[in-house]
């Protein structure tokens, strides 16, 4: 693992690293913020998953999360959004290929050689982080847009690994959204509806209808002036699925806010405090 950069912030450290991923078969990059408390004892970790076209840098540079993370004693890990490299399959569109991994394990060629972001986020990256840095095995997961989709689906599928889930403007029902339909057709196969459902927040919540245990609290914040609200994000579908399954999902709507990091930076403190309750 190679340290690319480091910057002191609010008494802690933001650091970028590159490493060779055996899961993704390429070199990957991630960033970590270690709060001042990490100098005294291991701290819990919030994993942040970013959206389409993003890297590890978008959240770390734009969200303004370090002050509150330092206060609460929470580390933040931000991975890249897809495998990278000259031999990694790509697409001309921004919503498929590099920068658009959708946090799933691809089953279709040529994507299946590298695009296994689900296994990378759930297994390989946390193992690396926990072996290298002064952090505990207490984890929370959050994300934005495509990353919000990733955070909710990964949390729902692995409730024993996380304490809580949150998302800004998540793609809530990708099997019905153009972004999700394009990605799932390529990565998972056009006719594989049952496999698609395994990466859809609404479908996963419906599967819990008779399960009272292993339920994680979920917070979602959505801007009402988001250009993608109706066609791509569909928070009302998530609310309906949660209501039918009696699942603890709270959706906060905000007038005037869009899909940008101006929105995220306005409410990131609320998300960190939400996770701190369970961590």
Domains for the chain: give ranges and CATH numbers.
Answer: 2-276 (3.40.50.1820)
Q: What is the pTM of this model?
A: 0.97
DSSP 218: E
pLDDT 10s digits, 136-190: 999 999 999 999 999 999 999 999 999 999 999 999 999 999 999 999 999 999 9
The share of the chain scoring above pLDDT 90, in percent, equals 97
Q: Please report which residue ranges of 136-256 form alpha helices under DSSP H.
A: 146-157, 178-188, 193-197, 201-206, 235-245
For residues 41 and 44, give the distance between their C-alpha atoms in angstroms, rounded to a whole number.
10
Asked if 173 and 230 count as a contact pair (C-beta separation under 8 A), the reply is: no
**One of 56, 80, 200, 226 is an active-site residue; which one?**
226
**pLDDT at position 210, please?**
67
pLDDT at 208: 83
Say whether pLDDT at 211 is over 90. no
- Of 149, 173, 259, 271, the catalytic one is 259
Residue tagged 């847009």 (tokens): 145
| SS3 readout for 38-99 | HHCCCEEEEEEECCCCCCCHHHHHHCCCHHHHHHHCCEEEEECCCCCCCCCCCCCCCCCECC
Does the pLDDT at position 212 exceed 70? Answer: no
Q: Give the pair of three-digit tokens for residue 90.
A: 């790509």
259 is catalytic: yes
Paired sense of beta strands 26-34 and 75-79, if any: antiparallel
**Annotated catalytic residue 145:** yes
Asked about 266 being catalytic, the answer comes back as: no
Of 145, 163, 169, 201, which one is the catalytic site residue?
A: 145
């Amino acid at each position: 693992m190679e340290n690319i950069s480091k910057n002191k912030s609010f008494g802690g450290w933001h650091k970028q690293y590159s490493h060779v991923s055996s899961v993704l078969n390429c070199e990957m990059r991630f960033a970590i913020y270690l709060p001042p408390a990490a100098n005294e004892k291991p701290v819990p970790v919030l994993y942040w998953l970013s959206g389409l076209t993003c890297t590890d840098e978008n959240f770390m540079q734009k969200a303004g999360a370090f002050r509150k993370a330092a206060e609460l004693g929470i580390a933040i890990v931000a991975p890249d959004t897809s495998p990278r490299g000259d031999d990694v399959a790509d697409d001309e569109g921004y919503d498929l290929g590099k920068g658009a991994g959708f946090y799933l394990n691809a089953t279709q060629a040529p994507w299946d050689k590298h695009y296994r972001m689900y296994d990378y986020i759930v297994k390989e990256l946390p193992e690396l982080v926990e072996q290298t840095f002064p952090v505990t095995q207490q984890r929370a997961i959050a994300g934005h847009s495509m990353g919000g989709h990733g955070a909710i689906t990964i949390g729902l599928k692995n409730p024993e690994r996380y304490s809580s889930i949150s998302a800004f403007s998540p793609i809530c029902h990708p099997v019905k959204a153009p972004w999700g339909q394009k990605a799932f057709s390529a990565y998972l196969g056009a006719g594989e509806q049952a496999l698609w459902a395994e990466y859809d927040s609404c479908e996963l919540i419906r599967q819990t209808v008779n399960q009272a245990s292993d339920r994680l609290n979920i917070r979602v914040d959505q801007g009402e002036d988001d250009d993608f609200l109706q066609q791509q994000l569909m928070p009302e579908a998530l609310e309906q699925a949660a209501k039918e399954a009696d699942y603890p999902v709270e959706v906060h709507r905000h007038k005037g806010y869009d899909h940008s990091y101006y929105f995220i930076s306005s409410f990131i403190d609320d998300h960190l405090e939400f996770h701190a309750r369970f961590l």
